[in-house]
Amino acid sequence: MEAERQGISAAGRPRITLDEQQINEVETLAAVLTTDQIADYFGISRKTFYNIMERDKAIFTRYKKGKAKAIGSIAGGLLNKARNGDLGAQVFFLKTQGGWKDTTAVEHTSPDGSMTPTKIERIIVDPTD
């Protein structure tokens, strides 16, 4: 424990930390990169990056804030497209946020008993019905 307080890991190696500039970059990088990519950017392993975030909650907070900003920005654009009549955006939004789902109904028998489908339908189901 004494070694950990002095900045040395349990294995006896110096603990890797991020400098102030790197800490400031975490929020910006988190908006566009995965944790693996951020670790690569800093020249450390993913596990080391996770350990750094676990030790320093301010870095973890910056990482989460960067992700949230990016998601909020994209979601805002999607919502604007949906509100402006973009059918694809509307369907995507309702499937991911409204619980809608695609179902495909295939009629396995036909009126003449030949098992040749006479109709294939694609139905979008509204869960509030």
Which of 22, 28, 20, 25 has its CA nearest to residue 66?
Answer: 28
Q: Summarize pLDDT for 85-115 with one digit per residue, the tens.
A: 999 999 999 999 998 888 877 666 666 766 6
Q: Summarize pLDDT for 51-75 with one digit per residue, the tens.
A: 999 999 999 999 999 999 999 999 9
Q: Check residue 111 and give its pLDDT.
A: 66
- Residues of the chain with pLDDT > 90: what percent? 63
| Contact status, residue 86 vs residue 80, Cβ threshold 8 Å | no
Please tell me which residue, 116 or 66, carries the higher pLDDT value: 66
Domain residue ranges of the chain, discontinuous segments joined by +: 2-125
